[in-house]
Amino acid sequence: MTGTREILVVAHAQRADTVAAARRVIVALAAAGAHPVLPSDDELLRAAIGEVGPIATLGVDVTVDDIELAIVLGGDGTILRAAELVRAGTAPILGINMGHVGFLAEIEADVIDDAMRRVIARDYDVEERMTLTVAVVDTTGEVIYETWALNEATVEKASRERMMEVVIEIDSRPLSSFGCDGVVISTPTGSTAYNFSAGGPVIWPTVEAIAVVPLSAHALFAKPLVVGPEATVAIDVLARTDGTGILWCDGRRSHDLPPGARVVARRSPVPVRLARLHPAPFTDRLVRKFQLPVTGWRGPSTSSGDSVGGSGDSAGDSPA
């Protein structure tokens, strides 16, 4: 460690509002005596921010182990990029939403100044999210590719006009075989991402589990599955598949899958750490981010016995 407070700032350099927000963050950090740090490949952002004083470079001036916190300005894609950057360290990630849904983000851009005060005071909680370790095995049994995923690992067909044939295996036992467009293997964090769009279940972050969701399967039994967090999920791409497949992890890292390849996913021992300024029920986050209709909600009633420790006087309030 360097003995100073090194704060990584990750932002999308091609949006003017995001660049302006990143500048505010960097100025606030420097004014408080912390050292702002930018990724080594962010020369475009550095140029867009302009002269704001010294800014260190990750991997050149400081190591990932030196980073105290990563502040991310952008949507979920930018947060996933930041998770890659700090993967080898222990820094938590604080997401400031500059995108659309921004499900992984903790706050919106209009409260940046308050967020910076709390960052300087170290006034935040850290929440750990499980991740997946993912390996591709060839027909000889050799591991030819390894990576990880915070949201999901997806086995997909490479050709739009062709179907891929797979066998799903859970804990070394075959479960089902069918033709499909692919299979999504998701963490609870990723359950509101591709898994959600594919018809998989939303999994509360406090529930440690892995979801397995076939994509457009040509089969009678190809429903979404939820397995335990210590389960090993394997997808065999059958050799008779007409064409190749592709593995995507978090939509950022990919590897081609020839017929006969095997993708194995299991829980990783290394979580992603998220900084939380406003711990709140996950239900409220779902309602707010997806703008779910809750009109008519009366709240828990002590007379009906469905309230634990509540006063029963919250009728008419909205969780959003």
Six-digit token string for 21: 């927000």
Confirm whether 256 is a catalytic residue: no
- Rounded to whole angstroms, the Cα distance separating 235 from 185 reads 10
Question: Among the options 42, 76, 236, 250, which is catalytic?
Answer: 76
Which residues are registered as beta bridge partners of 30? Answer: none
- Name the burial class of residue 228, with classes exposed (0-12), middle (13-18) and buried (19+) by CB atoms within 10 angstroms of its CB: exposed
What are the DSSP calls for 51-119, one per residue? --S--EEBTTTB-GGGEEEEEEEESHHHHHHHHHHTTTS---EEEEE-SSS-TT-SEEGGGHHHHHHHH
Alpha-carbon Rg for the chain in angstroms: 22
Nearest alpha-carbon partner for 270 in 148, 152, 185: 148
Q: Which residues belong to the active site?
A: 76
